[in-house]
Copies of this chain bind each other. A is one copy, B any other.
Amino acid sequence: MLALNTATLGHNLDGHGVGWSSEQVIEACAERGLGGITFWRREIGTRAVEIGNRVRAAGLQVVGLCRTPFLTGPLAPPTRQGVIDDFRASIAMAHDLGAPVLTIVTGGVIAGSHSITESLKQVQDIVAAMAPEAADAGVVLALEPLNPVYGGNRSCLVTVRDAVDMCEAIGAPNVQIAVDVYHVWWDTSLASELKRAGKHRIAGYHLCDWMADTTDVLLDRGMMGDGVADLESIRAAVEGAGYDGYCEVEIFSAGNWWKRPPGEVLDVMIERFKSVC
């Protein structure tokens, strides 16, 4: 089952010029027979209930919401209370939207700590503290390990191994992981770590490709088939571990795909999903 992460269309509302409203995105996905959509908070604003209902009325599902604030590191809110408040707001939005999954990008290494271990511990403490509130709201928290290139500033959580360890340490059924091709394509231990995670710890699978000569590690993701990731093996590892949810396409591509008409991007993504994933 194929889902769209709206980042693939340049977040549709964030000024990259493609300019589709959330309603247009929903309609275009429904027309093409997609199963669901994952949104970003910036697109939702105060319209969470309205947009969620619109998705379901179109015969689609809300797959997830991106995302909590960064919890640690240079990009996190400056105070712990600021982190908690925004974390709580993201849970509330997921609930109102009817999104079953809220993605966590942990944030980087705590400034001055020189310690990825201490940073991971702080992430774990915050997620453990928020897990019951998320559970009450019917929301799964998905820890998404990011490519190690982001380890300094965006995510001290950089491997599936560490994400599974953190899930186990927290021990809450609604704290799970998300697996993104861009972040894990290089990891030869992926299949065994996902087996260790097990079906009930995998909340999402995100598709794109890693370009061999990537020009920008933030905004130069590839369309499936254009890069070097072994998409068949990665999907086999995810589904071999029991995952049977959506394959969600999430492509940040300021120089290429965000410049194209959104309908064309959707059409190519559907074709590639069939041919190479």
CB nearest to A73 among chain B residues: B212
Q: Contact between A229 and B114 (Cβ–Cβ < 8 Å)?
A: yes
Quick one: which of B115, B117, B147, B212 contacts A148, CB cutoff 8 A? B147
In the complex, the answer to whether B116 meets A186 with C-beta atoms within 8 Å is yes
Complex Cα gap A77–B261 (Å): 39
Taking a contact as CB atoms under 8 Å apart, the answer to whether A212 and B114 are in contact is: no
- Judge whether A228 and B114 touch: CB under 8 Å: yes
Count identical subunits in the complex.
Answer: 2
Q: Is the interface of A mostly helix, strand, loop or mixed?
A: loop
- Surface stretch bound by B, among A22-30, A57-65, A96-104, A150-158: A150-158
Hey, what's the 0/1 contact readout for A205-244 against B, CB within 8 Å counting as 1?
A: 0000011111001000000000111110100000000000
Instruction: Specify which chain B residues have a CB less than 8 angstroms from the CB of A74 in the assembled complex.
Output: 212-213
Known: A212-B74, A212-B108, A212-B109. A186 touches B151 (CB 8 A): yes
Q: Taking A189-B161, A212-B73, A212-B74 as contacts, is the C-beta distance between A151 and B116 under 8 angstroms?
A: no
Instruction: Judge whether B109 and A152 touch: CB under 8 Å.
Output: no
Q: In the bound complex, do residue A185 and residue B116 qualify as a contact, i.e. CB atoms below 8 Å apart?
A: yes
23 pairs from A and B in contact (CB 8 Å cutoff):
A108-B212, A108-B228, A109-B228, A111-B212, A114-B227, A114-B228, A114-B231, A115-B233, A116-B228, A116-B230, A148-B149, A148-B187, A151-B185, A151-B210, A151-B228, A152-B211, A152-B213, A158-B186, A159-B186, A159-B188, A161-B189, A162-B188, A217-B217
Given A73-B212, A151-B210, output 4 extra A-B contacts at Cβ < 8 Å: A114-B227, A120-B188, A151-B186, A152-B227
